[in-house]
Amino acid sequence: MAEEIINRVANSKLKTFDLEEIYPEGNRVLFDIKDWLFQELILKEKDFRTSVKNHDWSQYKNSFVAISCSTDAIIPSWAFMLVAAELTPFANKVVIGDLELLETAIYQELISFLDFKTFADAPVIIKGCSNKPIPNSAFAFLIEKLQPIAKSIMFGEACSTVPLYKSKK
């Protein structure tokens, strides 16, 4: 008779954390202000404010927006803030920077509000494979929350993990 195959991973106390599961859906938009600059280099306040005033901001509803300038123009902080002020009523999240900074800010906020009680004194695997653009900084935010409470932390999949941390308790 053949022996019954037992899934020891499923029966273990291992807890898996998959950052992809908390990934918020919504468009990611890089809003480049260069087109609102004179010759894509000089900010003329009156023209810039007119562009801001006439832009349809409602198109960014429920989007995540990174505001940047792709040229080497020197942009005063108030210009980015003016654009952010218009985006804020519509967008889910607004940052001044690139798309990677946007994802970092999204994950930092998400992770800060999570309840990690179920991971207390448990061996934890942080899932490594993902189809979503998860920034490396999100893994650091996760370690910061899990390390004080987890028994151990590993990275990868249950069949092949890389140990990262083991509690000295």
Checking if the pLDDT of 105 tops 80, the result is: yes
Q: What is the DSSP string of 20-41?
A: GGGPPPS-EEEEEGGGGSBTTT
Q: Whole-angstrom Cα distance, residue 164 to residue 159? A: 16
pLDDT of 9 reads 47
| Rounded Cα gap, residues 56 and 104, in angstroms | 27
pLDDT at residue 145 greater than cutoff 70: yes
User: pTM for the complete prediction?
Assistant: 0.83
How confident is the model at residue 2, as a pLDDT?
67
Mean pLDDT score across all residues of the chain: 92
What does the pLDDT look like over 40-99, one tens digit per residue?
A: 999 999 999 999 999 999 999 999 999 999 999 999 999 999 999 999 999 999 999 999
Bridge partners of 162, per DSSP, are: 155
Strand order in the sheet with 28-32: 28-32, 64-68, 93-96
